[in-house]
Structure 1
Amino acid sequence: MVDGRFGRYSIIIVIVLILSGCNKDESEDDKYLKSPVCTDSFIPKTSEFKVVGFYPSWGHASLPVSEIPWDKLTRIVYAFAVPNADGTLDTKDLTMIQELTETAHKHGVEVYVSIGGGDGSNNFVWIASKDEYTKRFVKKAKQYVFENCLDGVDIDWEYWSGYRTNTVVPSESNVFVYIIKSLKEELSPFGLGVSIDLGASHWGGKHFYDDVVLYADDLQVMCYDFSGPWSAPGPHSSYDQAIGSGSTINSTGLAYWINYRKWPKEKILLGVPFYGRDFDNQGGEGITFSEIIKLSPDAYLNDRINNIYYDGIITMARKSQYVVDNRLSGIMIWEIGQDSWIDSTSLLSAIDNIIFREY
């Protein structure tokens, strides 16, 4: 027979352990901010259309924060924070976050952080594999936005495990919806936004379920890279490729999302490149617009030099006019440091002359 005292002591010990566990969970949550920590009184500039420029961390030297053309942007997206497999974030490359945010806000320009990217998305599939990792990712993303006084977060998920077999992995696509929904619920009470980046065809587009439209504020369609080292020489971002046509599963560009998928155009931004594809000397690798215009005095007026394909200022103006005429949300740029920065040849100036001309 067991002494009753030991039974009572056992019960007490169990209760203490349970309470200790609860306190541990609470202390973990206490590590995360409940609201943004901001000392500035930021007032965003008003504009009917958005002009969103990506600013990669490796572009600091070529385009210092002090030289960014703030008057021609409504938002700057700092790229990239890289997700780790356990849901934490690697932000060590974002060394200019404080200066960037303070300077942007002085000019009325929003600042988002982009997570993922073409070379930084592989771990999303691991984050999707465990509920623990998924929830941690949401907390870490929110924390980074809050502690740096940002205006939102951009999720640039560009790798899916189904790419290997050209199939959709439902668990990953469902987790993506969950992440965007959760971030929306966490950020929107503070007036902060969530954007996502999309490919321009069904090959990548099929991984994005329609429910995500309910939660993402901005849908940025990357209407470029229709050619590259993987293809024969040809345009990678022509006007016709970017806008697309028809309303079938084979439609590309904006037509795929607006006509076939029926996603709301008022949330869609047309993604444009400030770079070309060089099939003459680099096998289709990228070449910046600033490098291209050095090759020929009138290169900025055209879209091709031999087998180098790009957007000149005339095509960029046409794309901008399409955004205005069709009342899209705006234009997204990859990336602003690749421009010429001579006003008469600048792609950003070509956009600015249309988007902000009368609006």
Structure 2
Amino acid sequence: MMKNYINLLLGCFLCLFFLTNCEVEDDENPVFESTAVPRIFGWSTANTYTTDISDSLIIDLQVSPAQDATFKWFVDGVEVGTGLRFKYLFPEAKDYTIKFEATRNGVTNSREADVIVIKPFVPKTYNKKMVGFLTQNGSINDVNFANLTHLVISSAVVGEVAGQASLVDTTLENLNIPLIIKAAHNAGVYVLLDVTGNMVTLNGGGMYADYGFFNVVKDPAKQATAIATIMKFASNNGFDGINVYLNNTSEGVLEPVSKIEQFFKAIPAALPPGPNGKFFYTASVPGGWTTGVLSAIAKVPEIDWVNIQPYRYEDLAPTAHSPYWGATDLVNTWVNFGLPKEKIVLGFPAFGLHYNMPKDGTQVGWGNLWKYATYESFRDILLKDPMAHTKNMLAVDDGIYYDGHPIIQQKAQLVIDQGLGGLMMWSVESDTPDQSKSLLKAANTALGN
């Protein structure tokens, strides 16, 4: 009886063993319909590859089902190979488009990507600096490097956050920094890291009543920690410099200039050598009643230039927020602070201020102006009027005031006549990609670059 029981168990075990092996064999050798789409594995999820001009780009793919399938590789529409492996030495340092096709029984699947072929960095020559800021709301697709001499990626945010010992948020998670820097260097454009407090991305203004950056600045221990973190991140990621934008400088009262001066003078000793023989140290400063607090920046000789912002000049009555007089006034202010003219880079906005004042008798004051004066990107302004680039104001509601080509050309001429360092635009992604209407293109051209 016991022997029969053991034989029964052994039979069950063997049956289970063979059934299991049959299932595994089926998994390893699946049967596909003749019309099954050949799936492609191993392709870059970013749809972008980079390679040095001296190296071949190698891509190894897998396709399932692969039996009876044929494969083709294309570079800029020209067939260059078959098989699952792509190995190609690009002849020039420029951008290419590659495509892979897998076809089985008349069914085709494909993938396409951009390839950036990298060459040794050679900075472009220019007449005047054309600086553009790119925020996390944008991407590399918003950048036309032909219109830039320097790109600033915004931003590493400084402030006191619970559980954040470094005091600096350097995630910049929406931007592919390595890719942007490689593409910029290919075009001869330097890339700087913007260091700021919390701000309103569209207009670049400091977040209301947010003094996190300033609270770090005025504490020597926290200041040292923040500077070390910033320099490490900039150096590790191949940035060509940093731009410091202390966008809120007081908590209701003007702080001593010495606190700001000590911070800006502490930075040069921590600057790395830079990946291309130069590590830039620049600053951005707003106009307005707190300008004087930042005047010490003019006394820091290591600062390469200062981006001044004569815009966001809101008023209780509809008016231009970026007037020409504001530009000349802020230039003169910084010259009087002692900043050499060639270190002044004049900023202009790629956004406008849209006034829509109340019609029900509501009194408008500084406490409720935000309800009736809102900012819009230049891209959105063009949607309201395709010819907006030829103007500086649209007669929509109580007026949309912005910088179009006419005033940008005036400001460029001011830069040339006064011997200033150049122009700066906030921000690149708010401009239009249409080069006939682009603010950045108009500015760069007017500078003689």
Q: Which of the five TM-score ranges fits, normalised by the shorter chain?
A: 0.7 to 0.9
Contact 2:154 2:195 in 1 (8 A): yes
Give 1:57's aligned residue: 136
Q: How much has 1:153 moved relative to structure 2?
A: 0.4
Q: Which runs of 5 or more structure 2 residues have no equivalent in the other structure?
A: 1-117, 200-205, 358-370
Going from structure 1 to structure 2, the CA distance change for 1:74 and 1:283 (only over 3 Å counts) comes to same
Give 1:20's aligned residue: none
Distance in 2 separating the partners of 1:208 and 1:222: 14
Give 1:73's aligned residue: 148
Say if 2:418 is the partner of 1:326.
Answer: yes
**Larger strand percent:** 2
Residue aligned with 1:102, SS? helix
**Structure 2-normalised TM-score?**
0.62
Question: How far does the alpha carbon of each residue in 1:108-160 deviate from its partner, in whole angstroms, 9 at most, with x for none?
Answer: 11111101153477322332343222212221111111101110001111112
Distance in 1 separating the partners of 2:274 and 2:332: 29
Q: How much has 1:84 moved relative to structure 2?
A: 3.5
Distance in 2 separating the partners of 1:136 and 1:212: 24
C-alpha root-mean-square deviation of aligned residues, in Å? 2.4
Q: How much has 1:343 moved relative to structure 2?
A: 2.3
Give 2:331's aligned residue: 254
Give 1:341's aligned residue: 433
Residue aligned with 1:206, SS? helix
Q: How much has 1:199 moved relative to structure 2?
A: 1.8
**Larger helix percent:** 1
Give 1:248's aligned residue: none
Give 2:168's aligned residue: 89
Q: How much has 1:87 moved relative to structure 2?
A: 4.8
Q: How much has 1:334 moved relative to structure 2?
A: 0.2
Distance in 2 separating the partners of 1:107 and 1:198: 28
Give 1:247's aligned residue: none
**Structure 1-normalised TM-score?**
0.77
Q: Which runs of 5 or more structure 1 residues have no equivalent in the other structure?
A: 1-38, 245-252
Going from structure 1 to structure 2, the CA distance change for 1:41 and 1:198 (only over 3 Å counts) comes to same
Contact 2:310 2:326 in 1 (8 A): yes
Contact 2:218 2:260 in 1 (8 A): no
Say if 2:375 is the partner of 1:286.
Answer: yes
**Which runs of structure 1 show a deviation greater than 6 angstroms over 4 or more consecutive aligned residues?**
none
Going from structure 1 to structure 2, the CA distance change for 1:158 and 1:179 (only over 3 Å counts) comes to farther
Going from structure 1 to structure 2, the CA distance change for 1:209 and 1:296 (only over 3 Å counts) comes to same
Give 1:196's aligned residue: 283
Q: How much has 1:55 moved relative to structure 2?
A: 0.1
Say if 2:234 is the partner of 1:158.
Answer: no
Residue aligned with 1:215, SS? coil
- Alignment partner for residue 44 of structure 1, among 120, 123, 126? 123
Distance in 2 separating the partners of 1:200 and 1:74: 24
Give 2:317's aligned residue: 232
Give 1:22's aligned residue: none
Residue aligned with 2:308, SS? strand
Residue aligned with 2:384, SS? coil
Distance in 1 separating the partners of 2:343 and 2:185: 23
Contact 1:134 1:175 in 2 (8 A): no
Q: How much has 1:218 moved relative to structure 2?
A: 1.1
Question: How far does the alpha carbon of each residue in 1:73-124 deviate from its partner, in whole angstroms, 9 at most, with x for none?
Answer: 0111100111133553211124411111111111111111101153477322
Distance in 2 separating the partners of 1:42 and 1:295: 41
Q: How does 1:1-359 map to 2 (within 5 A)?
A: 41-60=120-139, 65-85=140-160, 87-94=166-173, 95-117=175-197, 118=199, 119=206, 122-161=211-250, 163-165=251-253, 167-170=254-257, 172-184=259-271, 186-187=272-273, 190-209=277-296, 212-227=299-314, 231-244=316-329, 253-258=330-335, 260-280=336-356, 283-306=372-395, 307-356=399-448
Going from structure 1 to structure 2, the CA distance change for 1:343 and 1:207 (only over 3 Å counts) comes to closer
Q: Match of 2:279, as an amino acid?
A: L
Q: Match of 1:273, as an amino acid?
A: P
Identity of aligned residues (%): 25
Between 1 and 2, higher relative CO (CA 8 Å, sep ≥ 6) is seen in: 1
Question: How far does the alpha carbon of each residue in 1:7-27 deviate from its partner, in whole angstroms, 9 at most, with x for none?
Answer: xxxxxxxxxxxxxxxxxxxxx
Contact 1:56 1:80 in 2 (8 A): yes
Distance in 1 separating the partners of 2:423 and 2:446: 11
Distance in 2 separating the partners of 1:66 and 1:330: 24
Going from structure 1 to structure 2, the CA distance change for 1:59 and 1:188 (only over 3 Å counts) comes to closer
